Chains A and B, each alone.
Chain A
Amino acid sequence: GENVEQHPSTLSVQEGDSAVIKCTYSDSASNYFPWYKQELGKRPQLIIDIRSNVGEKKDQRIAVTLNKTAKHFSLHITETQPEDSAVYFCAASGQTGANNLFFGTGTRLTVIP
């Protein structure tokens, strides 16, 4: 099955700086890569996703890049704000056509005001 690794496990940045979280996956058939944000005591919520036919996607201060050859994808947050502090999870869809997601172990991002 799919194996997703996520780094770093914790990340602290100064407000206004950029944050980058990286994930690798093992199943070359994976074609969908979402990122979820989870605030303390809350449910995971989708913040951005990318499909394998696209190399990069951006939504305001958030961007995701995908390198299918290397089987890695990254989340980039620019101009970080204190409200960006949360745990971020990457995921990969695994076998094409399946609807399951395989999650990384999470990155705790702290934005220092």
Chain B
Amino acid sequence: DAEITQSPRHKITETGRQVTLACHQTWNHNNMFWYRQDLGHGLRLIHYSYGVHDTNKGEVSDGYSVSRSNTEDLPLTLESAASSQTSVYFCASSDPGQETQYFGPGTRLLVL
């Protein structure tokens, strides 16, 4: 069955380290999104992509980057992890013209 997966599911890292979170979907969706979820803030958009080689900044993009080299994957990189980036990260995807977004299982990141 088509699905969207994230890895790792849990990650502990140290301040200043580079971290990459993976997102992979098999629906062949062009649109992919990264959100972070923090108590009291709901889901906030970090970066998004509407297709291969397309990337855009979201509401809270500082300290994060993405690249889109194929349809299936949108990895999220924290260039130099900070304690403020401790959060739960969700990846989502959707078809163009179909606004419904489907979420991955999430990655819980702790930055010490």
State which of A54-62, A64-72, A96-104 sits at the interface with chain B: A96-104
Chain B residues whose CB sits within 8 angstroms of the CB of A103 once the complex forms: 35, 42-44
C-alpha spacing A49/B101, complex, angstroms: 11
Contact of B103 among A44, A93, A105 (CB under 8 A): A44
| Segment of B18-26, B60-68, B74-82, B92-100 engaged in the interface with chain A | B92-100
Q: Are B104 and A89 in contact (CB under 8 A)?
A: no
Count of B interface residues, CB-CB < 8 Å: 25
Asked if residues A99 and B31 are in contact (CB atoms below 8 Å), the reply is: yes
Does A45 have its Cβ within 8 Å of any Cβ on chain B?
A: yes
Chain B, Cβ-Cβ closest to A32:
B99
Q: Nearest A residue to B31 by beta-carbon distance?
A: A99
Cα(A46)–Cα(B104), bound, Å: 12
Contact of A104 among B42, B94, B102 (CB under 8 A): B42
Chain B: minimal CB distance from A53 (Å): 14
B23: min CB distance to chain A, Å: 12
A105 near B96: Cβ-Cβ < 8 Å = no
A43 contact from B45, B48, B104, Cβ within 8 A? B104
User: Known pairs A43-B106, A49-B100, A100-B48. 10 more at Cβ < 8 A?
Assistant: A43-B103, A43-B104, A44-B43, A46-B101, A46-B102, A99-B97, A100-B45, A101-B45, A103-B43, A105-B42
Contacts of B102 in A (CB 8 A): 46
CB-CB under 8 A from B104, the residues of chain A are: 43
Task: Count chain B CB atoms within 10 A of each CB in A46, A99, A103, A104 and give the residue with the most.
Answer: A99
Could you tell me the distance in whole angstroms from the C-beta of A38 to the nearest C-beta in chain B? 9
A51 to chain B: closest residue by CB: B99
Q: Are A99 and B103 in contact (CB under 8 A)?
A: no
Q: Which of B41, B43, B94 is the one whose CB lies under 8 Å from A99?
A: B94
Q: List 11 A-B contacts (CB under 8 A).
A: A34-B101, A46-B100, A49-B100, A89-B42, A93-B99, A99-B50, A99-B99, A101-B45, A102-B45, A103-B42, A105-B41
- Rounded to whole Å, the gap between the CB of B26 and the closest CB of chain A is 16
Q: List residues of chain A with CB within 8 A of the CB of B58.
A: 100
5 smallest CB-CB distances across A and B, nearest first, come from A105-B42, A43-B103, A103-B43, A32-B99, A103-B42
